[in-house]
Structure 1
């Protein structure tokens, strides 16, 4: 018995990423597919044996012959690998092929087996239903009209049917244009305007001027610009474009022309000025939102209305703005928490506690804060039992996980992550923990964390909050007098501990250092012979990253919330986002204008609480860590020698 347990332990200790002798044949097949070389693909395929990625090579072959319309071969492949990621993607492409040829019966048959259809696939299905006279499609398509701001070609056909079927009015067209412009999609807005009758649509030259030369357009409008709906809409579009750069200037312009506008047009313009003002922390934003009246707000508009009231500590306004949100939006943890805080500020503690209970215990920023509002401490839950031998074997034998591991082995990370994530669909907690453990054993840290993050009742926070590279990170943090829990919390958010991680803007390594920042820090600390080729070296990356964290902390009142915001968006912005008076750290975080940075700061700070609890074996306080962000002062706003 002891021998069997020892043998199992030895087997599990070895990584599953050992090189396969057929890997080279797979790569040859992949390259042949990319080059369109059918003969080379066939030769490589015949030599692949039972390689884990054989389904992908079969997929390559079927894609190369798809134009022949061999549905029998495709269906055979679908049956062999049903519910796999490779089938989902190939079936989607087959539906696209069928849809472009109006083979609607087959579209419907294949669509019924899709597990997570993409938007254009949904629209091909709707086209198929329209073909057989199913008018219930219109109800579904109307919901997409306002939410799908960049419609794929397949969806435009469905939208055309809405117009032909007189299910959309001119009001609906303008409402969609407004949403698209708010989301800064002018090209899509132009496409939408084509749905208006010719006698109601603005001329293209005037539209371009309103979009691209807004102030000039307003000054040079014809005398009777307000006589038509199109003329008035172009005026408020110009106001909206001005607001995106200067809300106060837009407000001044709106005051000059508001008497010529209808109330809905005027209110929408005020809502756009208010939205941009709230993002810039303008004290006028609350007044501008009030001027917007009952105009329909986008989800972003609703949320910034709350943030404007939060920033001003107007708790009644916070409450009213959240209660006016669509139910699905108001049900998000942040708005449950802030509604609870608004009730608490108004002395309605029982209603507040009821709301806090809804999100208490959740392992996120607002779940942590809700726990503390209820007088509870934040600690990781009891650790689940380790995966059994049977659970480990099932995880190792999972075909999707094996395919993902093969992709990792071949350094095809994008394909590996897609296959891995797809394979987690429908897994129970015990399965997730076993798969997360496999990722940890293979040092695929990001998949271990993300997989363990999915458990519902059985948890292992040592997997959720992995702390690799301790020999490099702990001493570096100590040398910089930094809290190692905060350092790990930031690294977890930056790179999920992928040493070779590179962002789309060029940040590199564990601590995601931009080239200019890394070079500046290296010079600042006297690191000789540094070149950017060394930035992904773990020790160098951690040294530079922690050194920068210390410099940022010193420049920002040694406040981790400000420093976290600065690490992501730059010290200048972190300073600019301060209020004129001291501000609760949670409110500062919630009112950060950049959605990426806002989410980042919340997660870094919550991560730090869990790392602290795991490292020290005792609860930590998120509220204490958030503290109070000092008010903006002349000294605080001085430029520092920081990139």
Structure 2
């Protein structure tokens, strides 16, 4: 008994000695050996950070010295006052926390601030130490610094780098807009951007509903046109019905922007004005772009007009990859059956990057198979073989096209104790897991992802990723377990990628109400990655991400008396409510797993409308789901379900059999349940 009393006391004294504050001129050793203390102070620091409470954070920093999450508290403190911090203080942070995610995170923030200050010398000095390199604005600043330093001797890829990052930015920014304006203004050499790039940026932004980004691009392309752009943004129809005829390049581009803006609210009117008045006055490239926007708008509404609009495009190369994707989808969904030549034409016009996506590799192969002939079949087979695996929706479909079943791959060689220990001793993984355990999930997830990133110096190799995934599994941090294991390309550990926590509860509940447990697991894996306290931005909760109103309705339907929404945090209640709703939706859609998955994600009324039209192969139907989130969701849930079925049964499975065909509801069947929320 005395030993049991003294041991904790001795341990506490040991921890206290280890956790004494170190001198500021010393580098803190961050590792798995660092002893955690003051968890409550770390959580209080996190709360102060979220509240923007600089005073309280400054008080807490010295109190958490020695805690494994000290780098996070120090980061929060300095980040809140970075705009007033001295360069020496920033460099001291970089030294003290060298090699950590927090060092690189603050360097990202610091480089952005240096760019905004136009302190190019300091930016050039610090940028080579930036490891993450995933911030587009920082990349644009870096390209601009290279341009300013090297001029015409800069790499030929400089303009492409700026263009790619600028077009990909969702909102107006300083870095990419500044770099683009400087390169457009520099008329020397073939590496510069052009005014046409600025107009293209404006079109992309306006179509995406980003008027500030579009206005910024217009100001770069034609500063004198900013007032006219504001007018067309406020009332595109009024702008387009004015009596002024197109004369200048600027006026033509403004007309194209007005047509794009009008297309988002009144596509029929935009098409009429393009055809009757403005089309002949625009350049072929401008005209093609607007028809591409109209085609995309119609395709997203599942309108047969989509192919009509796309047919008026004289050169597919003028369209964006997104427009070409919707052209291919519309051709697949055609009332006359898939228009395979159009599918192939659209995919062929995509960028090399887009053509390489498994979606378009698969449909290009299907188009070649439909075309017939030995050469086309051989080429299709080669394409299918390039993606065929159990790793995803189109990968599984490619396997089946090749006549191969979907089965669980052989397990990788067991991890050695040395490999497991290396993962346990990784300081970044340790900090991430401790942050997640304290409820500081977003920060923990970011640090975990950084620590496992294969594409940065010091990132983990494939066996190390397997060991990291296993560490997360062992700690029941299922989302990091799954996501980390999925990044391993050379081996496939089904236990890591498709875990089955709470198996007894899920299986028992599924059997009771007549659901396939593989389907339930496939949906949970996509909904929450088995994070029991997951909560979405719109208020969905728990394993099965159930909305409060849906939960109350379902509880009444399944006879769960006395239910209150705070019970959704209870794992078994969440499973009961979620599976109960899934069963009701599945029955309402006649047992169609794709339709029920779409209804679970987007509500039942939308897939009821999406199923109207021709009878389709469900893979074509899923690819045409208008919402990108729901489209991705349906495909992933069905691919997950197929793999879980292979694991649970030990037998090869068919994704195609689960997909089936989808078309309008049979009038002989009962009316849909309009009460379904």
TM-score (norm 2): 0.86
Paired residues for 1:354-373 under 5 Å: 354-373=382-401
CA positional deviation for 1:495: 0.6
Q: Aligned pair 1:445/2:490, yes or no?
A: no
1:180–1:189 Cα contact (<8 Å) kept: yes
Q: Name the residue aligned to 2:420.
A: 392
Residue 106 of structure 1 is matched in structure 2 by: 122
Change (3 A) 1:522 1:324: same
Find the partner of 1:328 among 350, 353, 358.
353
Residue 244 of structure 1, CA deviation: 2.2
Q: What CA distance in whole angstroms lies between the structure 2 residues aligned with 1:171 and 1:37?
A: 46
Q: Deviations over 1:485-512 (max 9, x none)?
A: 0110001000111111111111111111
**Which residue number in structure 2 is paired with residue 8 of structure 1?**
none
Cα-Cα RMSD: 2.7
Q: Secondary structure at the match of 1:189?
A: helix
Partner of 2:263: 243
Distance 1:626 1:74, change over 3 A: same
SS, match of residue 551 in structure 2 = helix
Offset of residue 90 of structure 1 = 1.3
**Equivalent residue, structure 2, for 1:120:** 137
* 1:374 matched to 2:402: yes
Stretch deviating more after TM superposition (445-454 or 378-387): 378-387
Counterparts of 2:666 and 2:281 in 1: how far apart (Å)? Answer: 41
1-structure distance, mates of 2:515, 2:93 = 55
- Name the structure 2 match of 1:262: 282
**In structure 1, distance between residues paired with 2:247 and 2:615:** 49
* Distance (whole Å) between structure 1 residues aligned to residue 239 and residue 553 of structure 2: 45
**Partner SS, residue 415 of structure 1:** helix
2:202 maps to what in 1?
177
Give the Cα–Cα distance (whole angstroms) in 2 for the partners of residues 253 and 50 of structure 1: 68
Alpha-carbon distance between aligned partners in 2 of 1:244 and 1:194, rounded to the nearest angstrom: 22
Would the aligned equivalents of 2:177 and 2:216 in 1 still touch at CA under 8 Å?
Answer: no
Q: Which residue of 2 is the match for residue 22 of structure 1? A: 38
My pick for the range that moved more, 185-194 or 252-261, is 252-261
* Distance of aligned partners of 1:575 and 1:62 in 2 relative to their CA distance in 1, 3 Å threshold: closer
SS in 1 for 2:621: helix
Residues in 1 aligned to 2:81 and 2:202: alpha-carbon distance in whole angstroms? 41
Aligned pairs for 1:185-584 (under 5 A) are 185-197=210-222, 201=225, 203-204=227-228, 207-218=229-240, 221-258=241-278, 260-264=280-284, 265-294=286-315, 296-312=318-334, 313-347=338-372, 348-425=376-453, 426-584=459-617
Structure 2 residue runs without a partner (length 5+): 1-31, 454-458
Which stretch has the larger CA shift, 175-184 or 621-630? 175-184
1:129 aligns with 2:146: yes
Report SS of the residue matched to 1:599. helix
SS of alignment partner, residue 122 of structure 2: helix
State the TM-score, normalizing by the size of structure 1: 0.90
Q: Deviation at 1:618?
A: 0.8
Identify if the C-alpha distance between structure 1 residues 247 and 393 changes in structure 2 by more than 3 Å, giving closer, same or farther. same
User: Aligned partners of 2:663, 2:54: CA distance in 1, in Å?
Assistant: 66
Offset at residue 231 of structure 1 (A): 4.6
Counterparts in 2 of 1:256 and 1:633: CA distance versus 1, 3 Å = farther
Is the contact made by 1:500 and 1:536 (CA closer than 8 Å) also made in structure 2?
yes
Task: Give yes or no for the alignment of 1:590 onto 2:623.
Answer: yes
Instruction: Tell me which residue corresponds to 2:98.
Output: 82
Give ranges in structure 1 of 5+ residues lacking alignment.
1-15
Q: Distance in 1 between matches of 2:59 and 2:272?
A: 71
Residue aligning to 1:160: 181
Aligned partners of 2:259 and 2:290 also within 8 Å? yes
Q: Are 2:588 and 2:673, in contact at CA under 8 Å, matched by a contact in 1?
A: no
CA contact (8 A) 1:472 1:538 kept: no
Assess if the C-alpha contact under 8 Å between 1:119 and 1:152 holds in 2.
no
8 Å Cα contact 1:549-1:563 kept in structure 2: yes
Q: Displacement, 1:284?
A: 2.0
**2:598 touches 2:607 (CA, 8 Å); kept in 1?**
yes
Give the one of 104, 108, 115 matched to 1:92. Answer: 108
- For these two proteins, the number of residue pairs brought into alignment is 622
Q: Secondary structure at the match of 1:557?
A: coil
Between 399-408 and 88-97, the greater mean CA deviation after superposition:
88-97
Q: Shift of residue 130 of structure 1?
A: 3.8
Q: Tell me if the contact between 1:553 and 1:563 (Cα under 8 Å) persists in the aligned partners.
A: yes
Rate the CA distance shift 1:304–1:97 in 2: closer, same or farther, 3 A. closer
Q: Deviations over 1:344-395 (max 9, x none)?
A: 1111321111110100125111110111111111112111233222122111
Q: CA deviation at 1:222?
A: 2.9
Note closer, same or farther for the CA distance 1:633–1:227 as it changes in structure 2 (3 Å cut): farther
Secondary structure of the residue that 1:434 maps to in structure 2?
helix
Matching residue of 1:605: 638
Any idea what the Cα deviations from partners look like across 1:250-270, whole Å, max 9, x if unmatched?
A: 323333324552242332221
CA–CA distance in 1 between the matches of 2:70 and 2:63?
10
Quote how far apart the aligned CAs of 1:579 are. Answer: 4.3
